[in-house]
Structure 1
Amino acid sequence: MKHPFLRPLSTPTLLLALCGSLMAGCASGPNVNRDDPLEPYNRSMTKFNDAVDNAVLKPVATTYQELTPMLVRTGVSNFFANIGDSWSFVNNSLQLRLEPAVSSFFRFAINSTMGLAGILDVASEMGIDRYKQDFGLTLGRWGVPTGPYFVLPVLGPSTIRDTVALPVDMSGNLLTTVDPVSARNSLYALRAVDARANLLRAGSVLDDAALDKYSFTRDVYLQVRREENGRRRPSASRPVNDGRLPPEPD
């Protein structure tokens, strides 16, 4: 099956990516966090996203969690994770990582058939590991630096590199091949609700904790991305390595 990879990007998308890069380049100052030089903008966008979340996403996700049996929610999560495995296969292949690419391929093949289109995670029961990858990590594999932390409208935490890679990730999503459009949009909506429902517990912990939610979310996001990049002490100004951890201790 032909994978929808590297479709032509629209002019508005390229302009948005360029504007993001220009914003990162213009940010400066002696007290600027090197990972977050756009902090004033990012905090404002975070407040907007929180307002949208409190008004729409969180109530819908809470209702979904309360009304939908756990077995069904697990199947929904497995279905979308299986779609992600197909894109992970592409990116692991682009990164020339043989074992992860083979694992991603067999996970998708097994779960798509024996797992009823991915609703059942048969591959995990067989001991086949998941190696989740995206195009942002592929860019990092070949030396593209992460760039500053960048909060996207509605989508939330990102970096300049991951924002530029986002249109490619969206093009590589198998959901883009679903017809009719109404069914495709319904799947997008279900994926968003499922993803938000999976974060409800983490959100309640943040709400109850006496800390700066913005700084905590930023630091956790960047740390997770750095671990996925295969580095222990990365910098926003340096590219990722080949995925192997350095020998020095933490």
Structure 2
Amino acid sequence: MLSLSMRKLAITTGIAITLSATAVQAQQENDPWEGFNRTMFTFNDGLDRAIIKPVTQGYRYVTPEIAQTGVNNFFENLRDVRTLFNNLLQGKVHNALEDFARITYNTTFGLGGVIDVATPLGMAKNDEDFGQTLGYWGVSSGPYVVLPLFGPSTVRDTAGMVPDWYLDPVVYVDDRGTRNSLQALRLLDTRSQLLDAERIISGDRYSFIRDAYLQRREYLINDGVMDVRYDESDF
């Protein structure tokens, strides 16, 4: 008869093998276009290393931190408009009211959103988009796909980009020069937020970013509720 420790070791090894096989199967199901995706990932990564990242680092170097915070607050306030409509589409009325209150306070008392006055007042910050709305109503994510310039996505999230585009206040700015400048500044702000986070990337960059993206999207769609179950009798 196996000792208790040997039995636990055997169970643990069996679980590890099962999880490994499941992970490989999930990878094949979620990423059937891996060849194309890796090619596009290499293109995006090369463009980022050559242009976007150096420009972003220069932006962070010359821009005072308080100004960077103001820029980020401004675009987050604009993004709350998208979140508001998607919360309504998901029937999350309470969250939508929070979004409306945030937009109203930050736009009115926060100098157009440059100052975040809503968070210190206890108004929760939500994050919703149309891809999450589709997922909320049961639409499958479909295969993982890396888009030119836009990066990680899925078929569902790619389709969700279209209605979200119409919910972006920047696209309604009449002056083309101003509109393009805002888009460029938002790109710098978004990339700046990722400079510190990318330090945790290890191993195969493509696989790491893919898995992190898919896990985060699942987390957001389920509002942070993860269904993790195990049988204590096995241990």
TM-score by length of 2: 0.83
- Residue type of the partner of 1:49? N
Quick check: 2:83–2:127 contact (8 Å CA) kept in 1?
yes
Deviation at 1:31, TM superposition (A): 9.7
Task: Give the aligned partner of residue 138 of structure 2.
Answer: 143
Structure number with greater CO (CA < 8 Å, separation at least 6) is 1
Secondary structure (helix, strand or coil) at the match of 1:85 reads: helix
- Residue type of the partner of 2:208? F
2:227 matched to 1:223? no
Secondary structure (helix, strand or coil) at the match of 1:179 reads: coil
Quick check: 2:95–2:126 contact (8 Å CA) kept in 1?
yes
Deviation at 1:200, TM superposition (A): 1.1
Deviation at 1:45, TM superposition (A): 0.4
Task: Give the aligned partner of residue 105 of structure 1.
Answer: 100
Deviation at 1:146, TM superposition (A): 0.7
Task: Encode CA deviations 1:181-206: one digit per residue, 9 max, x unaligned.
Answer: 11011000000011111111223443
Task: Encode CA deviations 1:157-215: one digit per residue, 9 max, x unaligned.
Answer: 00100001111111110101112111011000000011111111223443xx4x01111
Q: Structure 1: how far apart are the matches of 2:35 and 2:57?
A: 30
Q: Structure 2: how far apart are the matches of 1:201 and 1:244?
A: 23
Q: Which runs of 4+ in 1 moved over 3 A?
A: 243-250
Q: Which residue of the other structure, out of 111, 134, 154, is the alignment partner of 1:159?
A: 154
Task: Encode CA deviations 1:28-77: one digit per residue, 9 max, x unaligned.
Answer: xx996111111111111000001110111001100000110110000000
Task: Give the aligned partner of residue 13 of structure 2.
Answer: none
Quick check: 2:83–2:128 contact (8 Å CA) kept in 1?
yes
1:169-184, aligned counterparts within 5 Å? Answer: 169-184=164-179
1:12-23, aligned counterparts within 5 Å? Answer: none
Identity %: 43
2:49 matched to 1:57? no
- Residue type of the partner of 2:216? V
Task: Give the aligned partner of residue 7 of structure 2.
Answer: none
Aligned positions, number: 206
Task: Give the aligned partner of residue 95 of structure 1.
Answer: 90
2:179 matched to 1:187? no
Q: Superposition RMSD on alpha carbons, in Å?
A: 1.8
- Residue type of the partner of 1:81? E
- Residue type of the partner of 2:145? F
Query: Could you say which structure has the higher helix fraction?
Result: 2
Q: Structure 2: how far apart are the matches of 1:224 and 1:32?
A: 15
- Residue type of the partner of 2:225? L
The runs of 5 or more residues in structure 2 that have no matched partner are 1-24, 231-235
Q: Structure 2: how far apart are the matches of 1:227 and 1:248?
A: 12
Task: Give the aligned partner of residue 225 of structure 2.
Answer: 245
Quick check: 2:86–2:130 contact (8 Å CA) kept in 1?
yes
2:195 matched to 1:200? yes
